[in-house]
C-alpha cells in the first residue's frame, strides 16, 4: 500500500509518500508546498491544491492521511488551517483516494508512544521507522511522514479487526454470534 501523508499549513504544507505492508515502510518521497505570505490567501490555497494534485499524479497513492485540525488560540489561524485542510481533502477526493484524518496527539502517540511528544522526538522516530540516515527535512515533511506512518498502524489494525469479524457470523435475529470455521 502507498500512503500520502499531509501536514497542512497556510504557509508551508508538508507531504510525504511512503509504501509498506504495515510492518515495514519505505520512503518514496517527501517535501513541502510553500506559499508566500505576500500572496492573497485564495492564491495560496490554489497553490497548495495544485501541489497536492501534482504529488498524487506523480506517486499514485492508495490513501491519503491528513492531520486533523486543532483549536489554536487565534481563531483566524484555526479557520485558515481548516481551509487548507479542505483544499487538501478536495484534491485527494478528486483523485478518488481513501481519506483518513488523525489528530496531532494520536499521530504522536502512534509514532513516538507519547501524545505530548516534542517535534524533534517525532522527527527522530520517523527517521528510525523509515531507516533513514538522517532526520527528514524540512520539519513539515517529517510531520507529514508521521501522519502516513500513523495511518499504516491504524489501517492495519482496522483490517485485522475486519478480518476477525469475518470469522464471526450472526446465527439468528437474537444477535447471538458463533464462530465460523474456515475449513470447508
Supply the residues annotated as catalytic.
Answer: 7, 67, 140
Can you tell me the distance from the alpha carbon of 94 to that of 112, in angstroms, rounded to the nearest whole number?
32
Q: Which of 64, 81, 72, 86 is nearest to 147 (CA)?
A: 64
Of 67, 79, 54, 75, the residue nearest 142 (C-alpha)? 67
On whether the CB atoms of residues 138 and 32 are closer than 8 A, the answer is yes
Distance, CA of 7 to CA of 142 (rounded, Å)? 9
Task: Round to whole Å and give the CA distance between 40 and 91.
Answer: 20
Separation of CA 105 from chain center: 13
Amino acid at each position: 500500500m502507498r500512503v500520502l501523508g499531509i501536514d497542512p499549513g497556510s504557509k508551508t504544507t508538508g507531504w510525504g509518500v511512503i509504501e509498506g505492508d504495515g510492518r515495514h515502510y519505505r520512503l518514496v518521497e517527501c517535501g513541502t508546498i510553500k506559499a508566500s505570505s505576500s500572496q492573497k490567501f485564495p492564491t495560496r490555497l490554489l497553490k497548495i491544491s495544485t501541489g497536492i494534485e501534482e504529488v498524487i499524479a506523480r506517486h499514485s497513492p492508495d490513501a491519503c492521511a491528513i492531520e486533523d485540525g486543532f483549536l489554536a488560540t487565534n481563531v483566524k489561524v484555526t479557520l485558515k488551517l481548516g481551509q487548507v485542510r479542505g483544499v487538501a481533502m478536495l484534491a485527494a477526493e478528486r483523485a478518488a483516494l481513501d481519506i483518513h484524518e488523525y489528530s496531532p496527539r494520536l499521530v504522536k502517540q502512534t509514532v513516538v508512544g507519547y501524545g505530548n511528544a516534542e517535534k524533534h522526538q517525532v522527527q527522530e522516530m520517523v527517521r528510525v521507522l523509515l531507516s533513514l540516515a538522517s532526520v527528514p527535512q524540512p520539519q513539515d515533511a517529517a510531520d507529514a511522514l508521521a501522519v502516513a506512518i500513523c495511518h499504516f498502524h491504524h489501517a492495519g489494525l482496522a483490517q485485522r479487526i475486519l478480518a476477525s469479524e469475518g470469522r464471526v457470523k450472526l446465527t439468528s435475529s437474537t444477535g447471538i454470534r458463533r464462530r465460523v470455521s474456515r475449513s470447508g
